[in-house]
Amino acid sequence: MLSAFSKILLKLLGWKYELKFPKEKKFVIIAAPHTSNWDFLFFILLLWATKVKFVWPGKHTIFRGPTGFILKKMGGIPINRTIKNNLVNTIAEKFSNNEEYIFLVAPEGTRSKTVYWKAGFYYIAKKVNVPIALGYIDYRTKTLGFNKSFYPSEKLEDDIQLLKAFYNSKKGLYPEKYGEPKFKV
């Protein structure tokens, strides 16, 4: 029922989507550009429409009160960004302990313009040898989805160029807030 509702709502809102998921049962999904709170809603609707079970990290403060329970049921994992924790190893362990595991993350880490993407998704995928699915939202064409995936290579710069080539044509709701793929090394 949730799947049908999500498909209908996306259609009524004028959104088209494409789905080219990796064939593997474990993978990381990155969602970009992330320039608005609406991005989260549209990606959640898309994943509900596809019946894909996934987990996602969120700022710990959004998990307070009654909404926290709902967000956790929706796959949310509270992350306190002021405390240095070993998220890469924690999520890598979850991948190792589950037959199916899909981790969705917005690598920009914020809706504001940022110089560097958070690279944790890349190191998680590399550590557990799973593909990275490129999820996108493009407000200019009103399309969202998953178009391509790749395994991290031994050449980080080549992988960053692949990300730039894919995402630089996608436009967020507020394009001026988009920070192109670049990692702090």
Q: What is the pLDDT of residue 95?
A: 93
pLDDT in tens, 97-142: 999 999 999 888 666 777 788 888 999 999 999 999 999 999 999 9
3-class DSSP assignment, residue 89: helix
Determine phi and psi for 132, rounding to 5 degrees: -110, 120
Q: Residue-wise pLDDT tens for the chain (185 aa)?
A: 889 999 999 999 999 999 888 999 999 999 999 889 899 889 889 988 988 888 988 888 989 998 899 888 888 888 887 766 678 888 899 899 999 999 999 888 666 777 788 888 999 999 999 999 999 999 999 999 988 999 999 999 999 999 999 999 999 999 888 888 888 87
3 state DSSP class of 106: coil
pTM: 0.88
Two structure tokens written together for 16: 């088209």
**2-174 is classed in which CATH architecture?**
3-Layer(aba) Sandwich (3.40)
Answer yes or no: are the C-beta atoms of 137 and 170 closer than 8 Å: yes
Total number of residues shown for the chain: 185
For the purposes of burial, counting CB atoms within 10 Å of the CB of 36, is it exposed (0-12), middle (13-18) or buried (19 or more)?
middle
Q: What is the pLDDT of residue 13?
A: 96
- The token pair that represents 117 in the structure block: 């993407």
